[in-house]
Structure 1
Amino acid sequence: MKSHYLHRLNMLKASRKILLIFIDGLGIGEDDPRLNPLLHHPDIWPAKNHKPDFNGLSNIPIDACLGVEGLPQSATGQTALLTGINAPKLVGKHLQGFPSRKLIELLKNESIFVHLTRNGYNATFANAYRHPEDITPFSRLSVTSHAFKASGQPFRSVEQIEKREALYHDFTNRSLGDKWGDIPILSAQEAADILVGIAKKEHFTLYEHFMTDILGHKGDKSAILSLIRQLSDFIHSTLTLANEEGIKIIITSDHGNIEDSSVKTHTRNSVPFIWNFDSEIIDENQPERITDVIPLIKKILIG
């Protein structure tokens, strides 16, 4: 009887696969392409009065400010996103850059990777690191790195890209430069194929892209438009492949930035919560803020 129950449980687990694509610094901007470069690709990206029309794609705006004054920042925003806990409220402000000791402790105990692996689910971080072998307990790491590190799993390396086992945050690999001469330049389709190939082997996969936040701060409009074109192609290809494989995709962010070309700072705009699957579970557990994303993922995977 017990073995039959475990078999059914494992079959249920196997049928539930979620790919969370975290795009740093991407909010919901105005309905003016002169201010909002995302509107050059309206089939994927929402604006305040525009919904994407990509087949099977749904979206709602969710709050990234979390009741704390000031511009939302990466350290607290990403911690809130990946734990489901209001990190800005916990530390009393929006904290930029790398996580503080208090946030690191929170990630060690409450990261989505920790919760899922403790419950017997496979949870992975698809991003490739340039020198994962050099990471020590004293290394200064991003929130996403600490969130994954807390699960005790090894980081993926740049060398694994050729084996189709990892994807760099710049999915084209162009920013790696000549020192990684054997690493191929990838098209959006090729990068999407690698990411979906990783995700179909896991219950939960996180992929992080942060060139959006970097270029948003620089304010180079030409570079921003080029990036958004590449990113839109990548997301389009990933969605198409994921739909074929039955992989549930969620796309969201930690705060706004690139959607408003009139400033080089973060914004207080809502961020998108975009998904490609049946909306029934969303309707029953509709997220309103970034702290609602991880509880929803747990609900889908664990029940």
Structure 2
Amino acid sequence: MTGLVWLALDGLGYPGDAPDGSVWEAALPTLRPLIEAGRALDATLGVPGLPQSGTGQACWLTGLDAVRAMGEPGKGEHFGPHPGPTLQRLLRAEALPARLAQAGARLALANHYPPAYFAAQVGGQTGGQTGGQSGRTGAQRPRLGCFPFSFLAAGLPLNPPGVPPVPATLGLGYADPWPEQTPLTEVTRLGTALALAARTHDLIVCDLWFGDHLGHRGRTPTPPPVLRAGRAYLERVDALLTGLLDAGARVVLSSDHGNLEDLRVKAHTLARVPFAGVGLALGTPRTVVEGGQAIAAAFGLKLDLGSDAKK
């Protein structure tokens, strides 16, 4: 059986919770039907405030309530965008990459990280077991997101060999007005290449964070270039997904919180988030925590609810 490709979207709420005229009104012949056939999950977990990437992604990666691991005991706190010491401990102990690596699985984070990304980590913690510090003085928040942190903590490299590198923008320019730099056909070919790589892996993850980057450019009235870029980005997710599915890949798609679906504001939203897939049982999850548990279950992993990491 081919391995699973996880498209981990950042900052994309469920289309049913989006306002009229949203990015979801782009032409998405593969993505939209898959999303609508899947589940819409709660990302708030009953905790006040706007869901954040740090705790949201930690929920997906561990299948545990990372929100209630933060803040005052019993109350919880949405935290992000990067994992601090509390979430780092949770990810080292319980994140899917660490658990699969310990079981001897072959997995990879497909994102392409340019030299500037590694330079930006100077002064922050790495994802390694020692959480190594640079020679700089003074505490600094680590800049690694939950996905690269978890892979590094599991002893796995960034920019791994044998996996086609996936650019964060999926071929759009990084800065306003976010012009097309790579045609959609090339993004579809990238999906095909990922599907081929999945035949020799158990799990390949794509940390698709650019949607959240665009979502934070929202305001009222919504700038037309931002809306165009948001729709163009989802069209590229659609093209990537098309290449994957046409090549027979098993795919799961998730999101950590809402943002891009409502460009009338630049903040995160309380929208439900999508959970969809092909080639795995989604079950009947209601929250992002249960969604993370469903992904772990696809690999035969079960949670040890008595572990100290959950307390």
Using the size of structure 2 for normalisation, the TM-score is: 0.76
SS at match of 2:38: strand
Distance 2:50 2:36 in 1: 29
Q: Which residue number corresponds to residue 181 of structure 1?
A: none
Cα deviation for residue 262 of structure 1 reads 2.4
Rounded Cα–Cα distance in structure 2 between residues aligned with 1:240 and 1:99 = 32
Alignment of 1:152 with 2:155, yes or no, is yes
- What is the match of residue 80 of structure 1? 59
Please state if 1:103 is matched with 2:101. no
Note closer, same or farther for the CA distance 1:231–1:155 as it changes in structure 2 (3 Å cut). Answer: same
The equivalent position to 1:276 in structure 2, one of 275, 278, 294, is: 278
Identity percentage of aligned residues: 26
Counting only pairs closer than 5 Å after superposition, residues 190-205 of structure 1 correspond to structure 2 as 190-205=189-204
TM-fit CA distance, 1:57: 7.3
Q: Distance in 2 between matches of 1:24 and 1:69?
A: 20
DSSP-derived class of the 2:144 partner? coil
Indicate whether 1:141 and 2:144 are aligned: yes
Q: Does 1:120 align with 2:104?
A: yes
- 2:286 is equivalent to residue 288 of structure 1: yes
After superposition, what is the alpha-carbon deviation per residue over 1:83-140, rounded to whole angstroms, capped at 9, x for unaligned? Answer: 1111111112111222110111111111110011111211211011112765652353
* Between 103-112 and 220-229, the greater mean CA deviation after superposition: 220-229
Secondary structure of 1:144's partner?
helix
- Equivalent residue for 1:69? 48
Taking structure 1 as reference, are residues 94 and 62 closer, same or farther at Cα in structure 2, changes over 3 Å only?
same
Cα distance, 1:294–1:29 mapped onto 2, change above 3 Å: closer
Q: 1:31 to 1:129 in 2, by over 3 A?
A: closer
Q: Give 1:100's aligned amino acid.
A: G
After superposition, what is the alpha-carbon deviation per residue over 1:216-263, rounded to whole angstroms, capped at 9, x for unaligned? 111154334333443333333333333344321111111001111222
- Measure the CA separation in 2 of the matches of 1:236 and 1:35: 18
Bigger CA drift: 201-210 or 216-225? 216-225
Once the two structures are TM-superposed, the CA of residue 35 in structure 1 deviates from its matched residue by 4.6
TM-score (norm 1): 0.77
**Which of residues 238, 250, 253 in structure 1 aligns to 2:252?**
250
In structure 2, the gaps of 5 or more residues are 71-75, 127-131, 134-141, 176-180, 302-311
- Whether the aligned pair in 2 keeps the contact of 1:171 and 1:186 (CA below 8 Å) is no
CA gap 1:241/1:214 in 2 versus in 1, 3 angstroms:
closer
| More off after superposition, 34-43 vs 118-127 | 34-43
After superposition, the CA RMSD in angstroms is 2.9
Give the letter aligned to residue 33 of structure 2.
D
Cα offset, 1:292, TM superposition: 1.9
CA distance in 2: counterparts of 1:277 and 1:90, whole angstroms = 32
Which residue identity is paired with 1:19? V
Report runs of 4+ in structure 1 exceeding 6 Å deviation.
Answer: none
Output the amino acid matched with 1:154: P
Count, aligned residues: 268
Q: Secondary structure at the match of 1:97?
A: coil
Q: Secondary structure at the match of 2:174?
A: helix
Q: Post-superposition shift, 1:20? A: 0.9
Please say if residues 166 and 198 of structure 1, whose CA atoms lie closer than 8 Å, have aligned partners that are also in contact: no
Q: Is the 8 A contact 1:44 1:232 kept in 2?
A: no
Does structure 1 conserve the Cα–Cα contact (< 8 Å) formed by 2:4 and 2:251? yes
How far off is 1:82 after superposition? Answer: 1.0
Residue identity matched to 1:147: S
The whole-number CA distance in structure 2 between the counterparts of 1:200 and 1:23 is 22
Kept after mapping to 2: 8 A contact 1:200/1:245: no
* Higher normalized helix content (fraction of residues): 1
Letter in 2 for 1:53: P
Contact kept? 2:191, 2:244, Cα under 8 Å:
no
Q: Cα 1:200–1:99, aligned 2, differ >3 Å: closer, same or farther? A: same
Q: Is the 8 A contact 2:188 2:243 kept in 1?
A: no
Whether contact under 8 Å (1:252, 1:274) holds in the other structure is yes
Q: Does the 8 Å contact 1:111/1:150 carry over to 2?
A: no
